[in-house]
Amino acid sequence: MALLAAVTLAGTLGYMVIEGWDAWDAFYMSAITITTVGYREIHELSFAGQVWTVILLFSGVGAALYVFTLLATMVVEGGLPQRLQKRRQARMISTIKDHFIVCGYGRIGSIIAGQLHQQNVPFVIIERDPARLQAAMMDGFLAVQADASHEDVLKRVGIETARGLIAAVGTDAENVYTVLSARVLRPDIFIVGRAEGDDATSKLLRAGANRVVSPYQIGAVQMAQTAIRPAVVDFISLATSSDNLELAMEEITVDPKSSLVQKSLLEANLRQRFGVIVVAIQREDSRMDFNPEPDTPILAGDKLVVLGRPHSLRRLEVEATE
């Protein structure tokens, strides 16, 4: 664009000097020459003016063709759409709240993102590898290409307003640094870390992870339990699957303003009112009360682990927050 403007300016100045025309006439003549419109000459040209017109034709038309070809290439090959997509994603990331930050989009990270997407949970992906980043964007997810262990990157994806962080990068060292950086920026954020080696679990916990998951250990335990107790595993899979429309297991936090606070399970009458079963209650100190008795009180901040139909769980969730 600067080249095209420079050629137009040179043509205008040339006509003003050679022919003595005013600025507008000189600019108009340069414009119709460069664009090859072919209108009549606005004034009779001298021999020097004709020579200048020929020079302007070759240089100006060449510059115009170059500029238009370059712009068309940007549009066709994806340069312009990619810039617009990155700008659109930057705006969306700047406004997202109560989301999860997923660090890594490999085999584990892509499954995590798919699960969050199925359950309509907002999230942002941080991936350093360009190919994996492109795969995440092709799947329609918000993603940035950066190193998740850097504090400025975590700030850019909104860690101040995030609900939690999942460190699922390929190596234990990267996950430890990521967890440590996130814990420094947000002491209260919930962090789940992925561990590959046996010694990585303790390191991730010391770095600040609330939970540490080893995919290989989980997979091995799942296979063993499936072989020993297939019916139990099938039931748990059915209850925790986001695709199941008949039965679901959910975690519901009791707000201090809820009418359920300081009521016992019997007084709250959750089974008759909502058709749900309270499997366990997790207290604020993380203590878990399994199969609670009917006289067990419901306290502010408790997390009710309940089993029931999805629409019943949504009604209970409304009750627990009001």
Query: What value does the mean pLDDT take over residues 101-120?
Result: 92
pLDDT recorded at residue 185: 94
Q: What is the pLDDT of residue 78?
A: 59
**Residues of the chain with pLDDT > 70: what percent?**
96
User: In terms of domains, do 212 and 142 share one?
Assistant: yes
Residues in the chain: 322
Residues 44-83 as b or e (16 or more Cβ within 10 Å = b): ebeeebeebbeebeebbeebbeebeeeeeeeeeeeeeeee
Task: Give how many domains the chain has, as a whole number.
Answer: 3
Higher pLDDT, 157 or 234: 157
Percent of the chain predicted with pLDDT > 90: 41
Average pLDDT over residues 280-309: 90
Whether 113 contacts 123, CB under 8 Å: yes
Strand pairing partners for 164? 100, 190
Which of the four pLDDT bands, split at 50, 70 and 90, describes residue 79? low
Q: Do 54 and 125 belong to one domain?
A: no
The answer to whether residue 237 is domain-embedded is: no
d(CA 135, CA 104): 12
| pLDDT tens track for 207-225 | 999 999 998 888 888 899 8
Q: What is the pLDDT of residues 7-60, one digit of tens each?
A: 889 988 988 999 888 899 889 888 888 887 767 777 888 888 888 888 888 888
| Residue 42 tokens, joined | 């606005």
Q: Would you say residue 228 lies in a domain?
A: no
CATH code for the domain in which residue 148 is found: 3.40.50.720
At 188 the pLDDT is 93
**Residue at 83 is within a domain:** no
Give the integer Cα–Cα distance in Å for 263 and 202. 39
Please state which of the ranges 176-185, 187-196, 246-255 shows the lowest mean pLDDT. 246-255
pLDDT in the model for residue 2:
87
H/E element holding 103?
A: strand 100-103
Query: What's the mean pLDDT in 306-319?
Result: 89
- Torsion region of 162: left, alpha or beta (phi above 0 gives left; psi -120 to 50 gives alpha): beta
pLDDT at 246 over 90: no
The domain in which residue 45 lies consists of: 2-77
Picking from 303, 301, 306, the residue whose alpha carbon sits closest to that of residue 291 is 306
| The pTM of the whole model exceeds 0.85 | no
Flag whether 282 is in a domain. Answer: yes
Is residue 298 in some structural domain? yes
pLDDT score, position 245 = 60
**What pLDDT does 243 receive?**
65
Of 77, 107, 139, which closes a domain? Answer: 77
Largest Cα separation within the chain, whole Å, is 107
- Whichever domain contains 33, its CATH number is 1.10.287.70
